[in-house]
C-alpha cells in the first residue's frame, strides 16, 4: 500500500492494523490528542498535560524566528569559529541531526556536540579549541542535569582563565523559565538566554527553541524546516484522518503499536547515507517513549542486513531511502519471508522537519495502543539516584563502593554473569542464556576512537551472526538519556554487556565556578554512571555482565570477538 512517500507492506498483519485504525477513528483518538486530552493515555494527567505543547511547536517556533536571528546575530558575523553544545539526550540530539545532515553554511561557525563524561575525549577536545573564537551553547531544561552542570563548570572556568571578565560573553543558555540555569545566568550576567517551553519534554523538543536555535547558528534555513513540519502538522489534523492508510504519524503509530502487541517489537532501521544521522534521534524518541511498564519497542540501528531467514518473528523493518537508493530486492525478500516492512522515501533533506513531527505523533499514538504514558521516563530517575548515592560515597570516602569481581585475568576483570573458570566460558555461558525474542546490548564506557568503534562493530556483528538476535550498542552516559529507560522498563528481554576500562588520564571537575577546588573527576563520574546503571539494571531483574579492561581495550574487544 503506497501513500505518497510512505509504503506499508504488512502481510498477515494488515487486517489487524486496518481494524486498529478504524477503532482509532471511532474513538476519536486524533481529535482528543489535539484537544490535549490526557485520557488518550492514562486516567491521571500527571506528566501528560504538561508535556503536550510539542503539538504546536512548529508554528509557535516559526513566530519566534526573527527574535532568534536577532539574538544570534553577534555570533554569526565571522567573529566565532566554533559552537560547542553542552547537553544530554533530547537537549542535543536534534541539533546533532541538523548538524550532520545540513552542516555549517559558509561564514557560519562549526557546531560540536559534547555529551560525554569520558576524560580522554574531553581532554582531546579541549586541546583543539581556540576559546577566544568559541561560544558554548548550554542546553538543559532543568539546569540540574549532572553531566551538563559538570561540563559547564569545567568549560566556564577554562573560559575565565583564557578570556577573563569577558567569559560570560562566550555562553548562551537554553533552559526553562525559573530553572537553576536561568538563575545562574543572572549571577554570571549571561546576556543570551533562550527560554524553552516547560510543557515540552526533551525528546519532543526538536522543532522548538531547543532544536532550532543551534540549527540557526550554523546557517540552516530554519524557516523551510519549520514550514515542512507545519505541513506534516496539518496532515495530522482530525479532518484528515479517515481511519485508512495514509502517510501520517497517526497511521504509523497505530502500525508500530499494533505490531508490538503482536511481538514485532524490534524496529530495525535501515538508513540510506542521506538519512543515517536521523537514526540516533529516532532511537531516543522511540525507546524512551515506549519502554516502560513491561512493554517497549526496541530501535535497532546500524545492523548489517542479512538473509531474511536469519531474523526471528520479532522484527519490523523500516527503510529510509532516496531515489538514489534501490532497496526493492531487499524489501521484497523480507516481505516474502513474512516480515512487515515500512519504506520512507524522500529526496529533500528539508523533509527532516516533517519527518520529525510525523514520528513524534507516531510515538504518541503507539503509546496509546500500548497503554503507556509516552511522555515520562520513570526508570531514568532510578539510575540517577544510584549515581548520586555513589558520588556521595566517593566524596566522603574517596573511593566508589566496592564491587566483588567474579573472574580476574591479567587483561580483564569480570563482574557478574554465570559461574565459569575462564573468560571464554564466562562470555559464552552468558550469551547462551538468550532465548527467542531476546536482544543483546553493548553498554560502552570506553575512550571512544576509530579503533574502538571498529572493534565494537566487529564484536557486535559476530554476536548477531552467531545468535541471530538483535544487538544494540550505546556509549555511556549518552545511552542513559536515550535507550536507558527501555533497558529497565521493557519486558526484560535484554542481556547487557558493560564494557569499561582503566582511565590513565583524568580531568578534574571544578566544585564551583571560578574556583579550582575539585572533589570529583570526570573519570570518577563516568565510573559512577556505569556502576549506577549496573545497579538499576540488577534491581530491575535484568541479566548483565561487565568486562573491565585493565590494559588495552581494543585488544580486549578483539579477544572477546575471537572467543566467539
Which three-class secondary structure string do you get for 459-477?
Answer: HHHHHHHHHCCEEEEEECC
Question: Rounded distance, CA 140 to CA 134, Å?
Answer: 19
List the chain domain ranges: 2-39+241-370, 77-218, 378-563
Which DSSP string do the residues of 317-385 spell out, in sequence order? EEEEE-TT---HHHHHHHHHTT--EEEEE-S-GGGHHHHHHHHHHHHHHHHHHHTS-TT--HHHHHHHH
pLDDT in tens, 195-241: 999 999 999 999 999 999 999 999 999 999 999 999 999 999 988 88
pLDDT tens readout for residues 298-349: 999 999 999 999 999 999 999 999 877 888 999 999 999 999 999 999 989 9
> How high is the pLDDT of residue 2?
43
| Residue ranges for the chain with pLDDT beneath 70 | 1-4
The domain defined by 2-39+241-370 folds into: Rossmann fold (3.40.50)
Which CATH code for domain 77-218? Answer: 3.40.50.10490
What is the reported pLDDT for 4? 57
CATH number of 378-563: 3.40.50.10490
CATH topology identical between 2-39+241-370 and 77-218:
yes
For 197-220, letters b (16+ CB in 10 Å) and e give bbbbbbbbbbbbbbbbbbbbbbbb
d(CA 113, CA 52): 27
Query: 330 and 321 in contact (C-beta within 8 Å)?
Result: no
Give the pLDDT score at 240: 86
* pTM, 2 dp: 0.96
pLDDT of residue 402: 87
Amino acid at each position: 500500500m503506497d501513500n505518497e512517500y510512505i509504503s506499508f507492506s504488512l502481510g498477515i498483519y494488515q487486517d489487524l492494523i486496518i481494524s486498529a485504525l478504524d477503532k482509532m477513528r471511532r474513538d476519536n483518538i486524533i481529535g482528543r490528542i489535539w484537544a490535549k486530552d490526557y485520557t488518550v493515555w492514562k486516567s491521571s494527567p500527571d506528566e501528560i498535560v504538561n508535556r503536550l505543547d510539542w503539538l504546536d511547536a512548529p508554528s509557535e517556533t516559526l513566530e519566534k524566528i526573527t527574535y532568534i536571528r536577532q539574538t544570534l546575530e553577534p555570533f554569526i558575523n565571522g567573529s566565532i569559529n566554533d559552537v560547542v553544545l553542552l547537553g544530554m539526550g533530547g537537549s542535543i540530539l536534534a541539533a546533532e541531526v541538523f548538524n550532520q545532515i545540513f552542516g555549517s553554511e559558509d561564514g557560519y561557525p562549526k557546531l560540536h556536540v559534547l555529551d560525554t563524561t569520558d576524560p580522554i575525549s574531553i581532554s582531546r577536545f579541549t586541546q583543539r579549541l581556540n576559546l577566544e573564537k568559541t561560544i558554548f551553547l548550554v542546553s538543559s531544561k532543568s539546569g540540574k542535569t549532572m553531566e551538563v552542570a559538570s561540563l559547564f563548570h569545567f568549560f566556564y572556568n577554562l573560559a575565565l582563565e583564557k578570556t577573563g571578565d569577558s567569559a560570560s560573553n562566550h555562553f548562551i543558555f537554553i533552559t526553562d523559565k525559573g530553572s537553576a540555569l536561568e538563575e545562574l545566568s543572572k549571577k554570571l550576567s549571561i546576556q543570551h538566554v533562550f527560554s524553552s517551553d516547560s510543557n515540552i519534554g526533551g525528546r519532543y523538543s526538536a522543532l522548538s527553541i531547543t532544536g532550532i536555535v543551534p540549527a540557526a547558528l550554523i546557517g540552516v534555513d530554519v524557516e523551510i524546516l519549520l514550514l515542512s513540519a507545519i505541513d506534516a502538522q496539518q496532515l495530522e489534523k482530525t479532518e484528515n484522518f479517515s481511519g485508512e492508510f495514509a502517510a501520517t504519524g497517526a497511521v504509523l503509530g497505530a502500525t508500530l503499536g499494533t505490531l508490538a502487541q503482536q511481538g514485532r517489537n524490534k524496529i530495525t532501521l535501515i538508513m540510506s547515507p542521506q538519512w543515517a544521522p536521523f537514526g540516533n534521534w529516532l532511537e531516543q524518541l522511540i525507546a524512551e517513549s515506549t519502554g516502560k511498564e513491561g512493554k517497549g519497542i526496541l530501535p535497532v540501528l546500524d545492523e548489517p542486513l542479512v538473509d531474511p531467514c536469519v531474523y526471528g518473528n520479532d522484527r519490523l523493518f523500516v527503510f529510509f531511502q532516496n531515489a538514489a537508493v534501490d532497496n526493492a530486492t531487499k524489501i521484497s525478500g523480507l516481505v516474502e519471508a513474512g516480515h512487515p516492512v515500512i519504506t520512507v522515501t524522500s529526496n529533500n533533506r528539508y523533509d527532516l522537519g516533517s519527518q520529525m513531527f510525523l514520528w513524534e505523533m507516531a510515538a504518541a499514538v503507539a503509546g496509546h495502543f500500548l497503554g503507556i504514558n509516552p511522555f515520562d521516563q520513570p526508570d531514568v530517575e532510578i539510575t540517577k539516584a544510584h549515581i548520586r548515592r555513589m558520588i556521595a560515597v566517593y566524596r566522603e570516602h574517596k573511593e566508589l563502593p566496592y564491587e566483588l569481581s567474579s573472574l580476574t585475568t591479567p587483561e580483564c576483570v569480570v563482574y557478574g554473569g554465570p559461574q565459569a573458570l575462564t573468560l571464554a566460558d564466562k562470555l559464552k555461558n552468558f550469551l547462551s542464556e538468550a532465548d527467542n525474542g531476546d536482544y543483546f546490548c553493548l553498554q560502552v564506557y570506553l575512550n571512544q576512537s576509530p579503533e574502538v568503534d571498529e572493534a565494537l562493530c566487529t564484536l557486535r556483528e559476530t554476536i548477531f551472526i552467531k545468535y541471530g538476535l538483535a544487538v544494540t550498542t550505546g556509549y555511556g552516559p549518552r545511552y542513559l538519556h536515550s535507550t536507558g529507560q527501555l533497558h529497565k522498563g521493557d519486558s526484560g528481554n535484554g542481556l547487557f554487556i558493560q564494557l569499561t576500562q582503566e582511565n590513565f588520564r583524568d580531568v578534574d571537575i571544578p566544585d564551583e565556578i571560578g574556583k579550582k577546588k575539585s572533589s570529583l573527576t570526570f573519570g570518577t563520574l563516568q565510573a559512577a554512571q556505569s556502576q549506577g546503571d549496573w545497579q538499576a539494571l540488577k534491581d530491575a531483574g535484568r541479566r548483565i555482565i561487565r568486562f573491565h579492561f585493565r590494559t588495552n581495550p581494543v585488544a580486549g574487544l578483539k579477544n572477546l570477538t575471537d572467543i566467539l
